[in-house]
Amino acid sequence: MASISLNEIFEHILNYPDIDAQERFNRLMGLDDKKNSLSKLLGAMINPLGVKNWINKYYPNATNVLETILRRPPLIVLSGDVGSGKTELAETIGDLVARQEKIEITLLPLSLSTRGQGRVGEMTQLISAAFDYTIEEAKKLKSSSDKNRGGIILLIDEADALAQSRESNQMHHEDKAGVNAFIRGIDRIASSKVPVVVIMCTNRLDAIDPAIRRRSADIIKFERPNEEQRKYVLELNLKPLGFSDQQIDELVEATGPKNKDSIGYSFSDITQRLLPAIIFESYPSRSINTSDAINIAKRIIPTPQFKDGA
């Protein structure tokens, strides 16, 4: 097997803390619960010393529960609807964790959508190479006594082929081999106890392979913004442009589902389509006419939901 170079495996390696990641993270709205639980999980996995110290302080005899907590599988799955902030969150959460734990964290991002679709066996080879490299790097960060010198987040984005159950009839032989390589990689990280967490992003919420399910410390589900979240995003952006409370409410309604069988705007429909459309309707010759905005919102068709499996 020809060896693959680092540039071929990972897209853009990032080191945290990183001010740009912090800004992107702060721009993600309505995800506070997810930000909170994900950062705690990552913090405990990359820097187990924090959890150890906490247990020792309050419950010095609770060694069993400590072991249970620290032995959690090194995988977190972010799954759910398109444009809901999975990739953004996965690419920026490392900054918060690095600051909280006062530790350097490296992001190694592997995207399967743009790669591994060529020669047979390429996806499997890529996944194996990614795990090999990650584990070697992480061994250098491991500290036997106390605090790890750093941590690694291995991000496997666009992992739909991997999330899909191997039991599915439609699953190609090559994809099954890819899933197996992935599961082997997770197990190798767990058994070598290196400071690595794997984050996998996928749209295939309902089809996640049972072996992957079993190996995930958490499966965090992302959904379209509800009324409250849409209101929050719209207010934050449009209040300073002179929109009244009533106009915001009209926009909240216009960006919601038209009836109980339809869907409303995704987060990215609001931030990447609606808001620019409102601005560019008036730019550069005049100021914004708020009633135009509501018509624009009614005109835009929400991105269709990702259809699972079938």
Ligand X SMILES: Nc1ncnc2c1ncn2[C@@H]1O[C@H](COP(=O)(O)OP(=O)(O)OP(=O)(O)O)[C@@H](O)[C@H]1O
Question: Rounded to whole angstroms, how far apart are CA atoms 131 and 89?
Answer: 22
Closest contact distance (angstroms) between CB of 150 and ligand X is 25
Q: How many residues bind ligand X (CB under 6 A)?
A: 19
Binding mask 62-91 for Mg ion (x = CB under 5 A): -------------------------x----
Cis omega before residue 17 (within 30°)? yes
Question: Rounded to whole angstroms, how far apart are CA atoms 298 and 141?
Answer: 52
Dihedral sign (CA 249, 254, 260, 265):
negative
Site residues for ligand X, window 110-149 (CB under 6 A)? none
**Residue number with CB closer to ligand X (2 or 301):** 301
Residue 29 is which amino acid? Answer: M
Site residues for ligand X, window 78-97 (CB under 6 A)? 82-88
Site residues for ligand X, window 166-205 (CB under 6 A)? 201, 203
- 3-class secondary-structure state, position 255: coil
Site residues for ligand X, window 13-42 (CB under 6 A)? 27-31
Question: Rounded to whole angstroms, how far apart are CA atoms 75 and 90?
Answer: 12
Q: Which partner in Mg ion, ligand X, none is near 83 (CB below 5 to 8 A by kind)?
A: ligand X
Q: How many residues bind Mg ion (CB under 5 A)?
A: 1
Strand 218-222 vs strand 75-80: parallel, antiparallel, or unpaired?
parallel
The closest of 184, 217, 187 to 200, measured between CA atoms, is: 217
Closest contact distance (angstroms) between CB of 81 and ligand X is 7
**Residue number with CB closer to ligand X (98 or 274):** 274
Q: Which partner in Mg ion, ligand X, none is near 241 (CB below 5 to 8 A by kind)?
A: none
Site residues for ligand X, window 210-269 (CB under 6 A)? 222, 267-268
Strand 104-111 vs strand 150-157: parallel, antiparallel, or unpaired?
parallel
Give start and end residues of each alpha helix (H) in the chain. Answer: 6-9, 19-27, 32-46, 48-58, 63-70, 86-101, 122-141, 160-163, 173-192, 210-214, 227-238, 245-254, 267-268, 275-282, 290-299
Closest contact distance (angstroms) between CB of 80 and Mg ion is 10
Counting other chains too, the contacts that 34-39 makes at CB distance below 8 Å and 24 or more residues apart are 34/89, 34/220, 34/222, 35/89, 35/93, 35/96, 37/218, 37/220, 38/76, 38/89, 38/93, 38/218, 38/220, 39/93, 39/96, 39/97, 39/100
**Residue number with CB closer to Mg ion (221 or 298):** 221
Closest contact distance (angstroms) between CB of 249 and Mg ion is 30
Q: Is 303 in the site for Mg ion (CB under 5 A)?
A: no
**Residue number with CB closer to ligand X (247 or 268):** 268
**Residue number with CB closer to ligand X (88 or 250):** 88
**Residue number with CB closer to Mg ion (112 or 194):** 112
Q: Which partner in ligand X, Mg ion, none is near 82 (CB below 5 to 8 A by kind)?
A: ligand X
- Which residues lie near ligand X (CB under 6 A)? 27-31, 82-88, 201, 203, 222, 267-268, 271-272
- Which residues lie near Mg ion (CB under 5 A)? 87
